[in-house]
Amino acid sequence: MRALTIGRYQPFHKGHLNVIEKISKKADEVIICVGSAQVSHEIENPFTAGERIAMIRRSLSQNNLDEIFYIIPLEDIKRNSIWVSHLESMTPPFDVVYSNNPLVVRLCREEGHEVRHSPLFKRNKYSGTEIRKRMMEEDEWKNLVPKGTLEVIDEVDGVKRLNEISKNEISQTQS
Amino acid sequence: MRALTIGRYQPFHKGHLNVIEKISKKADEVIICVGSAQVSHEIENPFTAGERIAMIRRSLSQNNLDEIFYIIPLEDIKRNSIWVSHLESMTPPFDVVYSNNPLVVRLCREEGHEVRHSPLFKRNKYSGTEIRKRMMEEDEWKNLVPKGTLEVIDEVDGVKRLNEISKNEISQTQS
Amino acid sequence: MRALTIGRYQPFHKGHLNVIEKISKKADEVIICVGSAQVSHEIENPFTAGERIAMIRRSLSQNNLDEIFYIIPLEDIKRNSIWVSHLESMTPPFDVVYSNNPLVVRLCREEGHEVRHSPLFKRNKYSGTEIRKRMMEEDEWKNLVPKGTLEVIDEVDGVKRLNEISKNEISQTQS
Amino acid sequence: MRALTIGRYQPFHKGHLNVIEKISKKADEVIICVGSAQVSHEIENPFTAGERIAMIRRSLSQNNLDEIFYIIPLEDIKRNSIWVSHLESMTPPFDVVYSNNPLVVRLCREEGHEVRHSPLFKRNKYSGTEIRKRMMEEDEWKNLVPKGTLEVIDEVDGVKRLNEISKNEISQTQS
Amino acid sequence: MRALTIGRYQPFHKGHLNVIEKISKKADEVIICVGSAQVSHEIENPFTAGERIAMIRRSLSQNNLDEIFYIIPLEDIKRNSIWVSHLESMTPPFDVVYSNNPLVVRLCREEGHEVRHSPLFKRNKYSGTEIRKRMMEEDEWKNLVPKGTLEVIDEVDGVKRLNEISKNEISQTQS
Amino acid sequence: MRALTIGRYQPFHKGHLNVIEKISKKADEVIICVGSAQVSHEIENPFTAGERIAMIRRSLSQNNLDEIFYIIPLEDIKRNSIWVSHLESMTPPFDVVYSNNPLVVRLCREEGHEVRHSPLFKRNKYSGTEIRKRMMEEDEWKNLVPKGTLEVIDEVDGVKRLNEISKNEISQTQS
């Protein structure tokens, strides 16, 4: 059985890793779609698709989960009625979708796909929003992501990037 | 004389029907543009262009208004300066635009079109926003739309769609 | 039963009219998609979507065929794998597709639609390519299109448009 | 040395002019990019790229600054990771970017460009937001823009345009 | 060292497999980009990106090559000057590009990437064009592709798809 | 009077320069649109818009023609019916279009613009196609372009670029 799950993974954290681990126990192969692949360098979306793919791939390998995964970037298409066809065209055929996003659930069901609730894992603790906030406030965040994510963020100087793009424009008091 | 009017029709309600009836008395032919044609499955835009076209066509027929209408989907183009050309290319030539939308009025006038205020009909009562709100709150809404709209919403299970896509993500309290 | 047929209609000719007449005898409602809606002012595609819609609508009315038609422009999407979803989103739900185009047939069948061969009518005589060629060579073409098409082409000065855009650039012998 | 600066210039005001004057003293040639070139007829973006280019060109000439400028419209591309390549493809090669926008600074530096802070000039006084607000409130604004800008706004009837598109839809009290 | 190679893989054949095997001996990790990801159901491009990814992934696994690969779909962007940025944004950082395509070589070198000639393997024998031709002529082709490709083509009924979309339109002799 | 002319300028040659010189004698200001601005690194279109703008600007200056020009890149929009609106939005208002391209002539006239034949200058001698061919065949071409164009082509190593992208893929005889 081939399962599909989708997220933005900004960044890929331990909650994501745990969920994928659980899904992988029920499926022979797991397709991990990296959504909103085209955006990056935004406060809500600091990392490129390629960087997020690297985080995921490395984290899966370091946890000995590297055999049966497809990690696929998916650009937004902004027309809900054709989104499922877009998803299908970019992925190998799949049997089940794991998602808790109401729109994803609805769209996939309208097209006849089986959808199951995604397993949950300490979502109040592991959250992309929280991690990005901590990065910007120089608060502790490194324990919330797997080693692979940490390495990629270091390599691309990700914390500095996030801090720079979130700065206000230069103060207007000078003349 | 050929008149043009434009709306999102999410959904097509009795206020819309009344307005089109009034316009049709002044014009030989009426072009009804279904705007934002590409969006659907959103809280503000639950229905596809095809579904909205079906609502309008059926409602016009059931009210014996089916002889001289063009019902044309129009995708957003997001560049105001070329929007009128986009509109013109998708529609038969027209003599008058009926609209109360200030941007539509301005853009059409800049391109030399005659624009008239659209006739009004109980806009505080008949409103797409209000109808969608009632659908989500399981309040009474069926008396606000013509029979044709009701039939289409039933066929596509539209109330359930709107309710599902407006749900919050699954509760985060589990772990 | 609601049937769908699709064509570029450059221009709408008597062969098209005959085919639609035949389909309308088997269906309660007929959706006529005007394909490649976004192109015009090309030798192969001289008329805008709006002009083609006007040709069809007027010709159907003049032949007393104006009650149960949807005439819908459809822009090209250039990704075959999502084309059927695009088509579905812009049209009311349909039961049967009439087409002889192998790609349309294949794509619709892969998505589970019933497809029937479109009825044929003197295709060696009535052909858009032939009609456009005759227009450019000032040969006889008016007997090949219905009166409604003729009227629209006259109104938009269509023969002159086609001839002008097909001219070669100004001769290069001067200096 | 060739310098590049970028702005929306909605409209081009005396603060912009002063900054460009300062940059032009340090550079042999200055590229002025007119950003968000595709938008117009919006409250935040009333003028087309062409109108903004005319404002800038005329103002530079009237201030005897017309010899070494490139004024280039740049459409938004909405993918930060490829924005610098987009910018580079539309402009002559440049040596330095002048900007105070944190995202522009970061993106250009990631691609290896030298970036300097843009000189400042009474930003609390000269501001596009403030000027548009005054236009809508019929407050004094003409002393904040150079003569060239004033002439272009007059020619295209810009104040009326801004006022019309900012009107609310027609009052809903009638029926 | 992380290497990148790119192809359309329509379909993935033994020549491709051999090349990737050779590259993988020189690199720690290999990024395989599936180009023209958005097209399918064409005579030159019969398979979707998802199907091609499945062919590659399965073939690599069956040849015990499944540990260090990224298989990433890449949509065409049709602007050569920004293509490398597009590629970089969708892939993990890479050190070397393997390619024999002159345009890819030039574009990557202009952006500062190291490019090496891709190793070659019996290109007169193993060729996508040749394999698609044989599929359409019902000639022998199965020995030219790895088992994984064969399985995917069977699953999606690929030979029939290719044959159907390559048919001419229905004969025009009837009336 | 403000005149507009448009070309691809691949590259900007002495014929172009001569034509612009002639137009500038009849007009107060000249808008030079650099068409197909988004393409580059193709055999027919080797140079970016930015490079072409630099060629033109420098050549005009070196010929003391630098006072009253707007040099504006224009991306293709691939919908003829809205092309004139696209053009108008990116340029200052213009009074006359100079063109010998039949499609440009027709489209501008349909929108009410005055169009005049572009003055001609030894078109059999000065031709972009011929110049690109000579570059690839290492034939004499430098006398056909103004000094400004020559400088830009040198700076961006343009002849080598053109030669590299026009090479066939590496010979297939090895294995």
- Tokens coding C121: 């009518």
Instruction: State the pLDDT at residue D175.
Output: 32
Within E8-137, strands assigned E span 29-34, 69-73, 96-98, 114-116
Report the side by side order of strands in the sheet with B2-7. Answer: B69-73, B29-34, B2-7, B96-98, B114-116
Mean pLDDT of C64-79: 89
Q: How far apart are CA B22 and CA B5, in angstroms?
A: 12
First to last CA, chain F: 66
10 Å CB burial of residue B43 (0-12, 13-18, 19+) is middle
Identify the domain containing residue C36 by its residue range: 2-165
Count of the separate structural domains present in chain C: 1
> Does C102 sit within 8 Å of E167, measured CB to CB?
yes
**Distance of CA A2 to CAs A70, A88, A108, C140, D57, Å?**
10, 13, 15, 61, 60
Nearest alpha carbon to residue C48 among C162, C164, C167: C162
Residues of C in contact with B90 (CB under 8 A): 37, 48-50, 73
The reported pLDDT for the residue numbered A175 is 32
Q: Do F72 and D57 touch (CB under 8 A)?
A: no
Which pLDDT score is estimated for F120?
79
For C37, which of B38, B54, B90 is closest by C-beta distance? B90
| pLDDT confidence tier of residue D167, bands split at 50, 70 and 90 | confident
Question: F109 exposed, middle or buried (CB, 10 Å; 0-12, 13-18, 19+)?
Answer: middle
Contacting F residues, span 17-46, partner chain D, CB-CB under 8 Å: 37-38, 40
Between chains, do A88 and C81 touch, taking CB under 8 Å as contact? yes
Spatial separation of the C-alpha atoms in residues B128 and B136, rounded to whole Å = 12
Residue C120: the pLDDT is 79
The tens digit of pLDDT for each residue in D25-37 reads 999 999 999 999 9
D66 in contact with F at a CB cutoff of 8 Å? yes
Give Dmax over CA atoms of chain B in angstroms: 66
Q: Which two tokens stand for residue F83?
A: 């092309």
Answer whether F74's CB lies under 8 Å from F37's CB: yes
Does residue A174 form part of some domain?
no
Which residues lie below 8 Å from residue B30, measured CB to CB, with a gap of 6+?
B2, B3, B4, B5, B20, B23, B24, B68, B69, B70
Preferred mutation among C78, C85, C86, C90 to probe A, highest tally of A CBs within 10 A: C85
For chain C, the chains sharing at least 3 beta-carbon pairs closer than 8 angstroms are: A, B, E, F
pLDDT of D125 reads 85
Q: Between F172 and C10, whose confidence is greater? A: C10
Instruction: Give the closest-approach CA distance of B110 to chain D in angstroms.
Output: 9
pLDDT given for residue F64 in this prediction: 85
**Could you read off the pLDDT of C31-67 as tens digits, one per residue?**
999 999 999 999 999 999 999 999 999 999 999 886 6
Please indicate whether, in this complex, the C-beta atoms of D124 and A168 are within 8 angstroms of each other.
Answer: no
> pLDDT > 90: what percent of chain D?
87
Give me the amino acid identity at A77. Answer: I
B170 domain-assigned: no
How many other CB atoms are found less than 10 A from the CB of residue A30?
24
pLDDT of A173 reads: 38
Largest CA distance in chain C: 65
F90 within domain boundaries: yes
Residue C173 forms part of a structural domain: no
The pLDDT score that the predictor gives to residue D169 is 64
Q: In this predicted structure, which of C136-145, D99-108, F5-14, F65-74 has the lowest mean pLDDT?
A: F65-74
Q: Which residues of B fall within a CB distance of 8 Å from A121?
A: 175
In 3D, which of F50, F9, F12, F48 has the Cα closest to residue F146?
F12
CATH number at residue E156: 3.40.50.620
User: ipTM > 0.90?
Assistant: yes
Q: Do chains A and F touch (3 or more CB pairs under 8 A)?
A: no
- Percent share of chain F, pLDDT over 70: 95
Residue among A82, A86, A88 minimizing CB distance to C89: A82
Cβ atoms of C42 and C165 within 8 Å: the answer is yes
Which chains touch F (3+ CB pairs under 8 A)?
A: B, C, D, E
So what's the pLDDT on residue B72?
A: 98
CA distance E81 to chain D (A): 6
Q: Is F37 helix (H, G, I), strand (E, B) or coil?
A: coil
CB spacing of D42 vs B80 below 8 angstroms: yes
Strand order in the sheet with A69-73: A69-73, A29-34, A2-7, A96-98, A114-116
Taking the CA atoms of C86, C87, C90 and C91 in sequence, report the sign of the dihedral they define. negative
pLDDT tens string B145-174 = 999 999 999 999 999 999 999 987 654 433
CA D35 to chain CA centroid, Å, is 7
Task: Calculate how close chain D gets to F174, using CA atoms only, in Å.
Answer: 36
- Cβ atoms within 10 A of the Cβ of C4, count? 27
Contacts of D22 in chain A (CB under 8 A): none
In this complex, do F161 and E106 lie within 8 Å of one another by their Cβ atoms? Answer: yes
Q: Contact, B23 vs B1, CB < 8 A?
A: no
Residue D116: which residues within 8 A CB-CB, separation 6 or more?
D96, D97, D98
Q: What is the DSSP string of D18-82?
A: HHHHHHHHH-SEEEEEE-STT--SSSS--S-HHHHHHHHHHHHHHTT--SSEEEEE----S-HHH
Reported confidence tier of residue F167, pLDDT bands at 50, 70, 90? confident
d(CA A33, CA A12): 12
CB contact under 8 Å between A73 and E73, yes or no, is yes
With an 8 Å CB cutoff and a minimum of 3 pairs, decide whether chains C and E touch.
yes
Q: Which of E38, E172, E174 is closest, CB to CB, to C79?
A: E38
* Residue B145 in domain: yes
Write out pLDDT tens, residues F73-103. Answer: 999 999 999 999 999 999 999 999 999 999 9
Which residue ranges of chain A lie beneath pLDDT 70?
Answer: 66-67, 168-175
Which residues from B are below 8 Å from C70, CB to CB?
A: 53, 57, 71
Predicted pLDDT at B57: 94
Question: Quick check: D89 contacting E, CB < 8 Å?
Answer: yes
Cα separation values, E1 from A138, E24, E93, E95, E99, Å: 32, 10, 10, 6, 16
Taking the C-alpha atoms of residue A48 and residue C94, their distance in angstroms, rounded to an integer, is: 41
Q: Which of C70, E14, C149 is nearest to B57 (CA)?
A: C70
Put the strands of the sheet holding C96-98 in their side by side order: C69-73, C29-34, C2-7, C96-98, C114-116
Q: Cβ contacts (< 8 Å) between F85 and chain B: which residues? A: 81-82, 84-85
Helix, coil or strand: residue F35: coil
| Range list of H helices, B10-157 | 14-26, 49-62, 80-90, 102-110, 128-136, 147-155
CB contact under 8 A, B39 and A79: yes
Secondary-structure percent of chain C, ordered helix, strand, coil, rounded to 5 = 45, 15, 45
Nearest CA in chain F to B81: F89
Question: Percentages helix, strand, coil for chain D, rounded to the nearest 5?
Answer: 45, 15, 45
Judge whether E24 lies within some domain: yes
Q: What is the pLDDT of residues D15-60, one digit of tens each?
A: 999 999 999 999 999 999 999 999 999 999 999 999 999 999 999 9
Q: Is the pLDDT of residue E91 over 90?
A: yes
Specify the 3-state DSSP secondary structure of F69: strand
Q: Identify the chains in contact with A, defined as 3+ C-beta pairs within 8 A.
A: B, C, D, E
**Interface A:D, ≥3 CB–CB pairs < 8 Å:** yes
A80 → closest Cβ in B41, B164, B168: B41
Q: Cα distance from A23 to chain C (closest Cα, Å)?
A: 28
Residue D122 domain-assigned (yes or no): yes
Mean pLDDT of E115-123: 87
Q: What is the rounded distance in angstroms from the CA atom of residue C127 to the CA atom of residue C14?
A: 9
% pLDDT > 70, chain C: 94
Tokens 């004389």, located at residue:
B1
Q: Does C140 score more than 70 pLDDT?
A: yes
Q: E66 — contact with chain A (CB < 8 Å)?
A: yes
Q: Which of A167, A173, A175 sits opposite D102 (nearest CB)?
A: A167
Interface of C with F in 92-151 (CB under 8 A): none
3-class SS of residue E32: strand
- pLDDT computed for residue C79 by the predictor: 95
Selecting from B166, B168, B175 the residue whose C-beta is nearest the C-beta of A122 gives B175
Please tell me which of the candidates A101, A107, A122 has its beta carbon nearest to residue B169. A101
